[in-house]
Amino acid sequence: MRSGKLFGPSRLRKKASARLDADYYIVGLGNPGGKYAHTRHNAGFDVIGILSQRHGIPVRIHDFGARLGHGEIKGRRVTLCMPQTYMNNSGESVKEMAKALGLRADQLILVYDDVDLNTGVVRIKERGSAGTHNGMKSVIYHLQTDEFVRVRVGIGKPDGDIVDYVLGEYADKQAAFDTLAKAADAVEAILEDGVAAAQNRYNQR
Note the pLDDT of residue 204: 77
Comparison of pLDDT for 159 and 23, the residue scoring more: 23
Catalytic residue among 41, 55, 70, 133: 41
pLDDT in tens, 150-182: 999 999 998 889 999 999 999 999 999 999 999
Note the pLDDT of residue 92: 97
41 assigned to active site = yes
Decide if 157 contacts 167 (C-beta within 8 A). no
Note the pLDDT of residue 6: 87
Between the CA of residue 94 and those of 98, 114, 125, what are the distances in Å? 6, 19, 19
Which of 107, 97, 193 is CA-nearest to residue 147? 107
CA dihedral 154→103→45→158, nearest 10 degrees, is -30
In 3-state terms, what secondary structure has residue 51?
A: helix
| Helix 90-101, helix 134-143: angle, nearest 10 | 30
Q: How many CB atoms lie within 10 A of CB 2?
A: 12
Note the pLDDT of residue 159: 87
Indicate the residue type of 45.
F
Decide if 166 contacts 88 (C-beta within 8 A). no
Average pLDDT over residues 7-31: 79
Decide if 190 contacts 106 (C-beta within 8 A). no
Per-residue pLDDT band at 13 (split at 50, 70, 90): low
Query: Mean pLDDT for the chain?
Result: 92
Statement: residue 78 has pLDDT above 90: yes
Statement: residue 2 has pLDDT above 50: no
Instruction: List the single range of 69-73, 127-131, 180-184 with lowest mean pLDDT.
Output: 127-131
Segment (H or E) for 97: helix 90-101
Segment (H or E) for 101: helix 90-101
Note the pLDDT of residue 66: 97
Tell me the domains of the chain and their CATH numbers: 13-202 (3.40.50.1470)
